[in-house]
Structure 1
Amino acid sequence: MRNWSGSDLKLRLTLRVAAVATLCFAVISGYFLFDSDRSVRARITAVADIAARTLELQQNKIQWLNNPHTEFPDLDSVAASVMAPGLCLAFRSNGSEISQRFCGGAQTDTAAPPPLAFAALYRRLFDPGREAVRPVVARGHAIGEAVVWVDPAVLTAEAWHDAGRLMAVLMIALPLLCALVYAALSRALRPTRLIRDGLERIAAGDLAARLPPFDLAELSAIGDVFNQLAERLAAALSDRNALTQKLILVQDEERRHLARELHDEFGQSLAAIRALAASARLTAIQDCPPLLAECDGIARTATDMMETLRGALFRLRPPDVDELGLAASLEGLIAGWNGRSRGQPGFEITLSGSFARLPASVSANLYRIVQEALTNAAKHAGATRVVLRLEMREAPSGGDSEIALAIDDDGRPGDPHGDLQVKSGMGLLGMRERVAALGGRLSFEAGQLHGASLRVVVPVAAGAEAAAVERAA
């Protein structure tokens, strides 16, 4: 069975109208055939009545004149007045013998004979050879019967001729009706294109899409509901972005607080351990030389812990982007990664445009996004080369500028740690939240053979709103 799930609505409605019209034509054709059969039955019954009365008069005349040599039955007078093509008139005596019969010849018709299927169906439904019989009575006794019938072949041919004319009308009227219905539906359903375009704009993130009022009440109701949903969705998204921005601010503040605590408490403790290890080493040189190795081990361990602490503090509390600017901060971040990784992997950065006048919220969030993406690529994807590109450009639709961020790496395909961290981990979720708070778009694609690509586009105008939220918080 053909699947109509993706078919055109106009075509489906037109086909249904065509089916209904065909059914109506079939019903009308059947009605005409039944009415024609009823008319034929009434006509041959009337002819049988006339023939019976005429024969009774003839018999009464013979008996009144007492002339047995008068010809009986005499159907010439009746046949002359009622005879029609295919009509048969006869007198049948009580002995079931036909005494006299007249049959009209069939009309000369050059049309093709009816199909055998139609002829069989017509004979099954109407029994066209059925006779109309009326008794002929003389002196209170039946002396015979007047019998009238119509040749079945003639009736079948006439029925096929009438049905053929209706079929010809159907063949002409049905395509015209379908064309008119399709044109009317196309005009009536033209607003559905606007509805589809509006839905596509909403799906693409354009929450300012609205539908105009329509003439049809049903479509107008759909447009009103669509506009209400778009307004509520825009309001909900605005509230969500504001809440997300506040949460990000709280998160950043908590990170700064944690960094201060680690620096003030843990950092001083590590410095004290190193100082005590150095003092113990001086004492061991004079009093207990075998303890020198342990003192040196304590000092190395404290130094390693301090290096780890510095890396953690750098991630928790990055350099002041407001003072250095986004471009300088990112260049410093790349230089720091290259210094710590010693070229494995290698980090590259390309900047295009001016980023000096970016709002503080946009710069800070973009820095955090880059920081999280580089960490994923370096620690989880097993990449050997990571390329960062940041571009200030005009928006394709015109208006305000936008920032396009692209990060590509050549990491291993299907890496379990990388997939878990990047696709479903908190890293990508945090990046999405930051981009959503700025009113931007984020996409992530993993290559079939190797590598992954992160794309972020943020409108610069969104920074003003984020800054307002930050001041309100």
Structure 2
Amino acid sequence: MTAYRKTLLIMLAVFAVVYAAGALFYVQQAQHDVQRELSGAVALADNLPAPHRLAAEVVPHLRHLEPTPSEPGADGSAADDVSDRESVPIWFTTLIGADHSAELSNGWRYAPADEAEEIWEGFLLISVSYAIGMLLCFFVLRQMVAGAVRTLSSLEAAMQAVANGSLTSRLRRQPVQELDALASHFNAMAEALESEQRTVSRLMTELLQLQDREREHIARVLHDDLGQYLTGIRAQARSWVYDPQLCEGKKQQARELAQHCETMQTHFRHLLHDLHPLVMEQLGLDGAIQHLVEQWQRLSGLSCHLNLGVALPELSGEQQTHLYRFLQEALNNISRHARASSASLAVTTDSIQLNIEVCDNGVGGADLDRCSGLGIRSMRERARCLGGQIQFESLVGTGTRIRLAVPLLESKPLVGGVV
């Protein structure tokens, strides 16, 4: 039940109780008035002569008195009494005790019809006035409740917007002090949340940048130091194979050592590529994406159809890193969790944005948008750093589709291709 309907029912019940109490008091007062008029009519009849001894024009103007039917001239008065009684409901005359006449002295009788009519007219006037006042109160109440409900509806919409991530929602000043205080508190809360979000976003961006710099540093140290040592050990082992002073057993050990070094170098190159994609510096963004897909297919054993647009935009080095890491994390999630047999990756552009779509035919899952896994969170942060909007579409048994839309301001196209 809405707040207005609930308030309306409560006010209607209050008005009904007040009206019933007022009507009860009015009826009691009316009964008292009827009895008082009866007493006055008895006293007046005792002091008046018989109706036929008075002037004919005087008898009709006497209040609450009329000749008895046996008196001359009583027919017309009786007819008037019946006509008066017909204008007042019978239940009302019965309720106030004005439904019967009383025989008095000197040929007079008590006729309360005109008193009942006056009481009835007063009752109608009070009832109509009360109804008009009640309607006015309901109208004013409706206007006040409608204003409050509008404010609450605006608050609800603003809170829903905040829940959806739009922390820029604000409420206008309100004419009612209490509602204005509520709006002010909400605006202060939204501003605090927006400030905290900016702080968290800045810290997350700096953390990702630091992570990428550390990865790059570690990759270069491994490549320049450990990689060179490993290459030297392998070359030394190869030279022992051709040393005539060594026996065949030692030469076999040298061959095995060289093979182990080659295996270590292969895994070492994969590790270096995961830490820092040097291929992006050598081949550019489109070449790095093609190399990523080829390497992922070799390591995962799954097939992946790659569609690169013919005019990829020119991005900054930081943006390219974020985009590459986003695609890397998306493909790794497929090989680790999707239980898919194939995947597809499309990177295309239009006049306003860069569009990325990663799909698989795996098991899928529900509520992927609310997933708090490290990979999903990493993709969200990368998308935020790119200024894009990410969308997850996944149902159990139908696979997963990840869409990323990155707005483009001033970009220059690069040549891409299709694999």
Q: What TM-score results when the alignment is normalised by the length of structure 2?
A: 0.69
Is the aligned partner of 1:316 residue 2:275?
yes
Alignment-derived partner of residue 444 in structure 1: 392
The 1:310/1:383 distance shift into structure 2, 3 A limit, reads same
Alignment-derived partner of residue 349 in structure 1: 307
Is the aligned partner of 1:364 residue 2:324?
no
Please tell me whether the aligned partners of residues 240 and 254 of structure 2 are also in contact (alpha carbons under 8 angstroms).
yes
The 1:285/1:23 distance shift into structure 2, 3 A limit, reads farther
- The amino acid that maps onto 1:381 is A
Deviations 1:76-128 (A, max 9, x none): 99xx866469x9xxxxxxxxxxxxxxxx97654278754xxx99xx97xx899
The 1:208/1:251 distance shift into structure 2, 3 A limit, reads same
Alpha-carbon distance between aligned partners in 1 of 2:401 and 2:65, rounded to the nearest angstrom:
92
- Give the 5 Å matches for 1:377-392: 377-392=334-349
Alignment-derived partner of residue 253 in structure 1: 213
Alignment-derived partner of residue 244 in structure 1: 204
Please tell me whether the aligned partners of residues 326 and 355 of structure 1 are also in contact (alpha carbons under 8 angstroms).
no
- The amino acid that maps onto 2:378 is G
Equivalent in 221, 226, 233 of residue 193 of structure 2:
233
1:368 is displaced (CA, Å) by 0.8
Alpha-carbon distance between aligned partners in 2 of 1:230 and 1:461, rounded to the nearest angstrom:
29
Alignment-derived partner of residue 360 in structure 2: 409
Alpha-carbon distance between aligned partners in 2 of 1:45 and 1:24, rounded to the nearest angstrom:
32
Alignment-derived partner of residue 109 in structure 1: 86
Alpha-carbon distance between aligned partners in 1 of 2:397 and 2:120, rounded to the nearest angstrom:
72
The 1:167/1:303 distance shift into structure 2, 3 A limit, reads farther
Please tell me whether the aligned partners of residues 213 and 220 of structure 1 are also in contact (alpha carbons under 8 angstroms).
yes
Alignment-derived partner of residue 427 in structure 1: 375
1:248 is displaced (CA, Å) by 0.9
Q: Secondary structure at the match of 2:338?
A: coil
Alignment-derived partner of residue 33 in structure 1: 27
The 1:322/1:305 distance shift into structure 2, 3 A limit, reads closer
Alpha-carbon distance between aligned partners in 1 of 2:365 and 2:165, rounded to the nearest angstrom:
30
- Give the 5 Å matches for 1:135-214: 178=138, 182=142, 186=146, 198-199=158-159, 201-214=161-174
Alpha-carbon distance between aligned partners in 2 of 1:352 and 1:219, rounded to the nearest angstrom:
56
Please tell me whether the aligned partners of residues 128 and 156 of structure 1 are also in contact (alpha carbons under 8 angstroms).
yes
Deviates more, 1:401-410 or 1:197-206: 197-206
Deviates more, 1:155-164 or 1:406-415: 155-164
Alpha-carbon distance between aligned partners in 1 of 2:207 and 2:238, rounded to the nearest angstrom:
45
1:378 is displaced (CA, Å) by 2.0
1:307 is displaced (CA, Å) by 1.9
**Uncovered stretches (5+) of structure 1, i.e. residues with no partner:** 59-73, 88-103, 133-147, 395-400, 464-473
Please tell me whether the aligned partners of residues 390 and 402 of structure 2 are also in contact (alpha carbons under 8 angstroms).
yes
- The amino acid that maps onto 1:349 is N
Please tell me whether the aligned partners of residues 240 and 246 of structure 2 are also in contact (alpha carbons under 8 angstroms).
no
The 1:75/1:355 distance shift into structure 2, 3 A limit, reads same
Alpha-carbon distance between aligned partners in 2 of 1:275 and 1:299, rounded to the nearest angstrom:
7
Alignment-derived partner of residue 142 in structure 1: none
Alignment-derived partner of residue 75 in structure 2: none
- The amino acid that maps onto 2:268 is L
Alpha-carbon distance between aligned partners in 2 of 1:34 and 1:403, rounded to the nearest angstrom:
85
1:272 is displaced (CA, Å) by 4.9
RMSD: 5.3
The 1:291/1:13 distance shift into structure 2, 3 A limit, reads same
Q: Secondary structure at the match of 1:380?
A: helix
The 1:272/1:379 distance shift into structure 2, 3 A limit, reads farther
1:273 is displaced (CA, Å) by 5.0
Q: Secondary structure at the match of 2:323?
A: helix
- The amino acid that maps onto 2:313 is F
Alpha-carbon distance between aligned partners in 2 of 1:34 and 1:322, rounded to the nearest angstrom:
102
Alpha-carbon distance between aligned partners in 1 of 2:308 and 2:120, rounded to the nearest angstrom:
85
**Uncovered stretches (5+) of structure 2, i.e. residues with no partner:** 54-58, 69-79, 103-108, 412-419
Alpha-carbon distance between aligned partners in 2 of 1:462 and 1:186, rounded to the nearest angstrom:
48
Q: Secondary structure at the match of 1:383?
A: coil
The 1:12/1:282 distance shift into structure 2, 3 A limit, reads same
1:243 is displaced (CA, Å) by 1.2
Deviations 1:249-292 (A, max 9, x none): 11112222332343345434544554455456556997345984
Alpha-carbon distance between aligned partners in 1 of 2:290 and 2:35, rounded to the nearest angstrom:
105
1:347 is displaced (CA, Å) by 3.8
The percent of aligned pairs where both chains have the same amino acid is 25
Alpha-carbon distance between aligned partners in 2 of 1:245 and 1:329, rounded to the nearest angstrom:
23
Count of equivalent residues? 393
Q: What TM-score results when the alignment is normalised by the length of structure 1?
A: 0.63
The 1:209/1:321 distance shift into structure 2, 3 A limit, reads farther
The 1:321/1:241 distance shift into structure 2, 3 A limit, reads farther
